[in-house]
Structure 1
Amino acid sequence: MKKLIKLGLVLALVLITAACSQGANSENNSESTEGSEDKNTTIEFWTMQLKPTFTDYIQGVIDDFEKENPNITVEWLDVPAADLDKKILSSVSSNTAPDVVNLNPTFASQLASMDALVNMDEELSDKEQESYVEGAWEANQLNGETFAMPWYLSTEVTLNNSMIYEEAGLDIENAPETYEEAREMTETIMNETDKYGYFPSMDLSLVLQHMVKMGVDLTNEDMSKAAFNTEDGLKAFEYFTEMYQNDMMPAEALTGDQRESIDMYQAGQTTFFAGSQFISQIEENAPEIYENTVPSQAITGKSGKKSISVQNVVVPSQTKNKDAAVKFGKFLTNAENQLAFTKLTPILPSAKEALEDPYFTEKPEDATPKDMVRLVSASQLDEAELLVPPMDNYNELRQSMFDAISASMLGEMEPQKALDKAEKEWNEILSQ
């Protein structure tokens, strides 16, 4: 019961409802999907803030699917990103969940931990599973089961303002690829230009991601105990504490959110940051900065690991139309449809076949910063992975680490004491 309380009242209600209705739902699913190929079926599909920008694309996919499957109708609902988690929790708790939903692995794993999602290992053949990028497929796994089909991806790419490099007397061809190189370049840039170099955002899960890239294991193998209170963990705390206290990174990196990083980059106040997902925004809001933006490999540390972000497609186990829902999920994420989607916006497909297209492998003449973001991002897929795996009580763990490193960076606690505090809190949370 402690876990349920920690997840909050709404999540507790979801778990209780899901647990109580599991057997009934399974029975209903079995009955309702039997012979579904021969009867008219309507499935409900939820996406996260894709209208109106991608209305034509999504509706086109739905139309094509319905033509191939005249007995299946897809009703599409687009939900604001800020409301989706709450809305899906409410629908699951009231036993009115949609049939197919677009979620990220972190939130989807919370539902998977309640057995609220269909196990895709049982629904997709080995060949179908292997058609997805390995790191993307594995990003949707919890306790040895796969709770989603990967949809679209991105890897972390560094955006560099070449004008500031030039002003500082630095070669843009030698953009930093490690944390140490980032610190060295930041020092040079600040001395020569009085501008910031690196903007390492500490928002959301990024503290944990920084630590993993720096060679830190967050937990032991079975996720029962914290494993980060090590020499590498201390070095990570010391790195960001020294950068912050020596004014080598903007205060907003700690006190703000990721929007601060894009705002300062667009204003020409910072030189480089992990922001490939913002490249279209930069093009629209700061055309001069955009024209002088040079994408480069992601900054990493001792582990050499690079981050992959995944948007996926899940099928709630409450569905009464499992076969049709899974069929639509496979259609939505097939290579042809993913390739078309990725040509509309700077994302990557999770389908391996789509990645073989020259669009992701060949540099066009007069390549734009957008083109280079795509090529650099795709080139990193083989070495990219979900750095922070799905974990029980993830939000508590993330907040605990953020609070600890904040205390260190703000000078409220020595780095080692802050790390000790985080370790104690993690062990308490993980033991629940």
Structure 2
Amino acid sequence: MKKQKIVTGVLLSSLLALSACGNDNNNANDAADGNNNETANEGNNTNGNNGNNEEASQEEVTLEFWTMQLQPTFTEYIDGLIDVYEEENSHVTINWVDVPASDLEQKLLSDISANNAPDVVNLNPSFGSNLAELDALTILDDEISQEEKDVYLQGAWEANQLGGNTFAFPWYLGTEIAYTNTEVFEEAGLDPDSPPSNYEEAAEYAETVMEETGKYGFFPSFEGTLPMQYLVKMGADLTNEERTEAAFNSAEGIEAVEYFTSLYQDGLIPPESLGEQREITNLYTSGQLAFGENIFMTEVSENAPDVYEVSEPSEALTGKSGKKNMNVQNLVIPEQSENKEESIKFAQFVTNSENQLEFTKLTAILPSTEATLDDPYFTDLPEDPEAADYERIISAQQLPNAELLVPPMNNFSELQIAIHDAFAKAMLGEATPEEALAEAEAEEEWNELLVE
């Protein structure tokens, strides 16, 4: 394996594939690869913690802190964070509760209904926005200074806003990575060191690969929020700036639907594109796919090491807008918390630059703070770099220009289904792209749903 080549590893593959498909209940355990056994006990700074003399007279506080499926992989790290925070804030006790990803939303809704909400909770922007709609979360804009907000990447901070109000601190992030099967590229007469960088090139490569090899050159999925992301990447706006009116039924939106409809009906993308997203991984593992995003590379490495060895990562595809997607995990403060000030301080501590750097060295995630992203760990390759080092640099390079392409919106699930159905109807020939988008806008009454 040539050192200068970028070969695949497991960086972000599970985290990003789950997020991109619209299932934002990211399981950080899937992304973990055990790269580093460092703990977070060194160099941690709290944001706005009071001195020891002041603490002596402060009332004892217990905070309930929920995370999403971080045990047992990150038990040592989280325990280390808590130990440091409690040592520096002796009046505070942190009760850490780790909740399975599949149970977290229902458990939180139940506790909120029982007026027994925790103090700090790890959520994704979509579910966070649902709670913010119900006024169930603390709005942070008036609680912290602009200087404290500026610690975070702008795209990550804005990902947690609904109606101009910020309902969460961004914690860890991800961006999409594309993967190329270099053997299939060479079989098709393509340069494996020059994978497609935009959707126009992806279509051209797909045609060449099919003609020369009978294999698929491109596999876009339409599960979850991905159809919405395609619209934005290809230049369409989902809504107006205030997120009160639909805007996707435009020339750019129609062009995006026409693009995928043409590929599908010409047989240049698999029929499984309209199925589950994990079919991308299955086809790539079989060696029948030349290029794709949202691939679970951990599964590829386990089930098809020969394919894994000839794979190379590259930046995600972009369209006319040049935008790339950012996946976000955050920390929210439920409105019911009786210790909001202390909860905000703890959330800032967990997400400060030093602690995030330690976390990113333990697993394949990206930080939400400017200072962490500027660290040499994300800018410079080490001596004798491994696959994960190359992938980390690629991901970090595109992160400052990435954003949450499908922002929190009212009635999110209904809107998502409407867009998916529009793509499916056009691709299956049940409606023209123009008719499909017009129907989605009218039948689902987007404008009413957005402001409901």
Shorter-chain TM-score tier: 0.7 to 0.9
CA shift digits 1:237-262 (9 cap, x unpaired): 11111111222112222121x22222
Which residue is 2:336 aligned to? 318
Which residue is 1:84 aligned to? 104
- Cα distance change, pair 129–152 in 1 and its aligned pair in 2 (3 A): same
Q: In structure 2, what is the Cα distance between the partners aligned to 1:62 and 1:392?
A: 35
**CA RMSD after TM alignment:** 1.9
Which residue is 2:416 aligned to? 398
Counterpart of 1:353 in structure 2: which amino acid? A
- Cα distance change, pair 237–145 in 1 and its aligned pair in 2 (3 A): same
Residue 171 of structure 2 contacts residue 368 of structure 2 at CA under 8 Å; is this kept in 1?
yes
Paired residues for 1:94-105 under 5 Å? 94-105=114-125
Which residue is 2:89 aligned to? 69
Which residue is 1:384 aligned to? 402
Residue 221 of structure 2 contacts residue 275 of structure 2 at CA under 8 Å; is this kept in 1?
no
Please state how far the C-alpha of 1:96 moved relative to its aligned partner: 0.9
User: Among residues 160, 165, 171, which one is paired with 1:145 in the alignment?
Assistant: 165
Larger deviation, residues 210-219 vs 241-250: 241-250
Which residue is 1:21 aligned to? none
Please state how far the C-alpha of 1:37 moved relative to its aligned partner: 7.0
Would you say 1:186 and 2:214 are equivalent positions? no
| Unaligned residue ranges in structure 1 (runs of 5+) | 1-34
- Cα distance change, pair 54–266 in 1 and its aligned pair in 2 (3 A): farther
Counterpart of 1:306 in structure 2: which amino acid? K
Which residue is 1:360 aligned to? 378
Larger deviation, residues 176-185 vs 113-122: 113-122
Which residue is 2:181 aligned to? 161
CA shift digits 1:128-182 (9 cap, x unpaired): 2111111101111112221111100111221212221122121122111111100
Residue 36 of structure 1 contacts residue 324 of structure 1 at CA under 8 Å; is this kept in 2?
no
Which residue is 2:437 aligned to? 419
Q: In structure 1, what is the Cα distance between the partners aligned to 2:243 and 2:370?
A: 31
Q: Secondary structure at the match of 1:62?
A: helix
Q: In structure 1, what is the Cα distance between the partners aligned to 2:410 and 2:57?
A: 37
User: Among residues 139, 146, 153, which one is paired with 1:133 in the alignment?
Assistant: 153
Residue 290 of structure 1 contacts residue 369 of structure 1 at CA under 8 Å; is this kept in 2?
no
Q: In structure 2, what is the Cα distance between the partners aligned to 1:302 and 1:334?
A: 35
Which residue is 1:28 aligned to? none
Would you say 1:343 and 2:361 are equivalent positions? yes
Residue 220 of structure 2 contacts residue 292 of structure 2 at CA under 8 Å; is this kept in 1?
yes
Q: Secondary structure at the match of 1:211?
A: helix
CA shift digits 1:304-334 (9 cap, x unpaired): 1111111000010100111221111111111
Q: Secondary structure at the match of 2:362?
A: coil
Structure in which a larger fraction of residues adopt helix? 1
Counterpart of 2:114 in structure 1: which amino acid? S
Which residue is 1:224 aligned to? 244
Residue 279 of structure 1 contacts residue 370 of structure 1 at CA under 8 Å; is this kept in 2?
no
Paired residues for 1:265-280 under 5 Å? 265-275=284-294, 278-280=296-298
Would you say 1:234 and 2:241 are equivalent positions? no
Paired residues for 1:182-331 under 5 Å? 182-256=202-276, 258-275=277-294, 278-331=296-349
Q: Secondary structure at the match of 1:174?
A: coil
Query: Under a length normalisation based on structure 1, what TM-score does the superposition of the two structures give?
Result: 0.88
CA shift digits 1:344-377 (9 cap, x unpaired): 2111111111112211111234433322221111
Residue 293 of structure 1 contacts residue 369 of structure 1 at CA under 8 Å; is this kept in 2?
no
Which residue is 1:15 aligned to? none
Counterpart of 1:332 in structure 2: which amino acid? V
Q: Identity over the aligned pairs, expressed in percent?
A: 54
Residue 140 of structure 1 contacts residue 146 of structure 1 at CA under 8 Å; is this kept in 2?
yes
Please state how far the C-alpha of 1:36 moved relative to its aligned partner: 10
Which residue is 1:408 aligned to? 426
Q: Secondary structure at the match of 1:152?
A: strand
Please state how far the C-alpha of 1:201 moved relative to its aligned partner: 1.2
Q: Secondary structure at the match of 1:270?
A: coil
Q: In structure 2, what is the Cα distance between the partners aligned to 1:129 and 1:283?
A: 39
Counterpart of 2:106 in structure 1: which amino acid? K
User: Among residues 41, 46, 52, which one is paired with 2:72 in the alignment?
Assistant: 52
Counterpart of 1:272 in structure 2: which amino acid? F
Query: Under a length normalisation based on structure 2, what TM-score does the superposition of the two structures give?
Result: 0.84
Residue 39 of structure 1 contacts residue 71 of structure 1 at CA under 8 Å; is this kept in 2?
yes
Residue 197 of structure 2 contacts residue 317 of structure 2 at CA under 8 Å; is this kept in 1?
yes
Residue 410 of structure 2 contacts residue 451 of structure 2 at CA under 8 Å; is this kept in 1?
no
Q: In structure 1, what is the Cα distance between the partners aligned to 2:303 and 2:145?
A: 45
Q: Secondary structure at the match of 2:435?
A: helix
Counterpart of 1:189 in structure 2: which amino acid? V
Q: In structure 2, what is the Cα distance between the partners aligned to 1:303 and 1:73?
A: 47
- Cα distance change, pair 350–281 in 1 and its aligned pair in 2 (3 A): farther
Residue 137 of structure 1 contacts residue 150 of structure 1 at CA under 8 Å; is this kept in 2?
yes
Q: In structure 1, what is the Cα distance between the partners aligned to 2:119 and 2:341?
A: 10
Residue 208 of structure 1 contacts residue 388 of structure 1 at CA under 8 Å; is this kept in 2?
yes
Counterpart of 2:377 in structure 1: which amino acid? Y
Which residue is 1:38 aligned to? 58
Please state how far the C-alpha of 1:225 moved relative to its aligned partner: 2.2
Counterpart of 1:217 in structure 2: which amino acid? D
Residue 207 of structure 2 contacts residue 268 of structure 2 at CA under 8 Å; is this kept in 1?
yes
Counterpart of 1:134 in structure 2: which amino acid? Q
Residue 307 of structure 1 contacts residue 384 of structure 1 at CA under 8 Å; is this kept in 2?
yes
- Cα distance change, pair 366–193 in 1 and its aligned pair in 2 (3 A): farther
